[in-house]
Amino acid sequence: MPKDASGLLIPGVLAPPRPVRPDIARPEYVGKPAPASYAGTNIYSADEIEQIRHAGNISSRALDAIGDAIAPGMTTDEIDALAHEVVTSYGAYPSTLGYRGFPKSCCTSVNEVICHGIPDNTVLDEGDIVNVDITSYWHGFHGDMNRMFTVGQVSDVAQNLIDHTREALNRGIKAVAPGRQVNVIGRAIQSYAERLGYGVVRDFTGHGVGTHFHSGLIIPHYDSSPLYDDVMEPGMVFTIEPMLTLGTYEWSMWDDGWTVVTKDHALTAQFEHTVVVTERGADILTLTLPTL
Ligand code: MF3
Ligand code: CO
Ligand code: CO
């Protein structure tokens, strides 16, 4: 996705597939059109949670490396190369590669792209904002997260959108507690975001994650009560990944079947963590830790 004359993104050219060392274990869905269906638990043991935390640590370290490298002139494919290199260097598999046919090792969503942008020959320009979403699959468990990055100097409006989206995720995480329905998370996010005048995307949600990339448990980012009434329990693992916009929350999809853009082409931002419900609240499983 390079840009057209008015600065909007257009589809670009993809580089050939990146190989993964044969000793790295693949998720079951790789090479298949869709993952096996899952109706199992979202509750994990203490040992399993440490495996998910390990996967999340790898994803976070890959994003740290991208943050160090990002600069005007870099392409989104170069971001993908770095994501692929860091994730596989720790013996993990980049979960998006071959997920329902997604061709790359991360998602790169620039400016008006809400989510699921495909890395290609798009050149990042001064003033762009870009979300990078990385999931690592390690010893049978996925750790899913994303972050925003700024390219050179960005506008105050763009910086505020990013800061407020990060805070919206924090509000959602703070709403997590055992005994509450998962719809309290979206209520906290929506009330914060709409007070500041942002749109909150509804049709892309957080999700259960662990042995499966998307378990079937849905975590909305808006107030969906009385729907989505799953009750949180200690050991339950899911993502929270709000997408805020400067305009409408309506979206359209490119013909590539992946890239989701705001219908009005307004800027949008997202942050994502994988969390586990604890006795007291939530513990974030996608942080860079001192050891790995
Ligand atoms: N990591 C994304 C999420 O947060 C999912 C990406 S699926 C892909 O759920 F196929 F687009 F890569
Ligand atoms: Co996710
Ligand atoms: Co993600």
User: DSSP per residue over 97-117, as a string?
Assistant: TTSTT--SSSEEEETTEEE-P
Query: Ligand 1 atom closest to Cα of 214?
Result: 9
Pick from 164, 224, 166: nearest CA to 194: 164
Q: Tokens 């050991």 map to which residue?
A: 235
Which of left, alpha, beta for 218 (phi over 0: left; psi -120 to 50: alpha)? beta
User: DSSP per residue over 138-172, as a string?
Assistant: ETTEEEEEEEEEE-SS--HHHHHHHHHHHHHHHHH
Residues 6+ apart with CB under 8 A from 216: 38, 39, 207, 208
Residues 134 and 5: their CA atoms lie apart, in Å, by 30
Does 1 score more than 70 pLDDT?
no
The sign of the dihedral angle between the CA atoms of 55, 64, 107, 103 is negative
Q: Is residue 102 packed enough to be buried (19+ CB in 10 Å), middle (13-18) or exposed (0-12)?
A: middle
- Ligand 1 centroid to Cα of residue 155, in Å, is 28
Best residue for ligand 1 mutational test, from 30, 87, 135, 201 (most atoms within 8 Å of Cβ): 135
Residues 135 and 145: their CA atoms lie apart, in Å, by 6
- Ligand 2 centroid to Cα of residue 99, in Å, is 13
Mean pLDDT value across the chain: 98
Return the structure tokens found at 218.
């849905």
- Ligand 2 centroid to Cα of residue 182, in Å, is 15
Best residue for ligand 1 mutational test, from 30, 76, 99, 258 (most atoms within 8 Å of Cβ): 99
Residues 144 and 52: their CA atoms lie apart, in Å, by 9
Query: Ligand 1 atom closest to Cα of 241?
Result: 4
Phi then psi dihedrals of residue 230, to 5 deg: -55, 135
Give the pLDDT confidence of 250-274 residue by residue, as tens digits: 999 999 999 999 999 999 999 999 9
Residues 157 and 163: their CA atoms lie apart, in Å, by 10
Best residue for ligand 1 mutational test, from 96, 105, 134 (most atoms within 8 Å of Cβ): 96
Query: Ligand 1 atom closest to Cα of 135?
Result: 1
Name every protein residue with a CB atom under 6 angstroms from any ligand 1 atom.
Answer: 96, 99-100, 102, 107, 116, 133, 135, 144, 207, 239, 241, 258, 272
- Ligand 2 centroid to Cα of residue 138, in Å, is 16
Return the structure tokens found at 63.
């994003």
Which residue has a Cα nearest atom 3 of ligand 1? 144
Evaluate whether 221 touches 187 at the Cβ level (below 8 Å).
no
- Ligand 3 centroid to Cα of residue 179, in Å, is 26
Give the pLDDT confidence of 176-214 residue by residue, as tens digits: 999 999 999 999 999 999 999 999 999 999 999 999 999
How confident is residue 99, by pLDDT bands cut at 50, 70 and 90? very high
Ligand that comes closest to the CA of residue 238? 2
Give the pLDDT confidence of 37-90 residue by residue, as tens digits: 999 999 999 999 999 999 999 999 999 999 999 999 999 999 999 999 999 999
Instruction: Evaluate the omega torsion of the peptide bond into residue 16 and state whether it is cis, within 30 degrees of 0.
Output: no
Residues 6+ apart with CB under 8 A from 136: 55, 56, 58, 59, 62, 87, 90, 92, 93, 94, 95, 142, 143
Best residue for ligand 1 mutational test, from 97, 114, 213 (most atoms within 8 Å of Cβ): 213
How confident is residue 155, by pLDDT bands cut at 50, 70 and 90? very high
Share of the chain above pLDDT 70, in %: 100
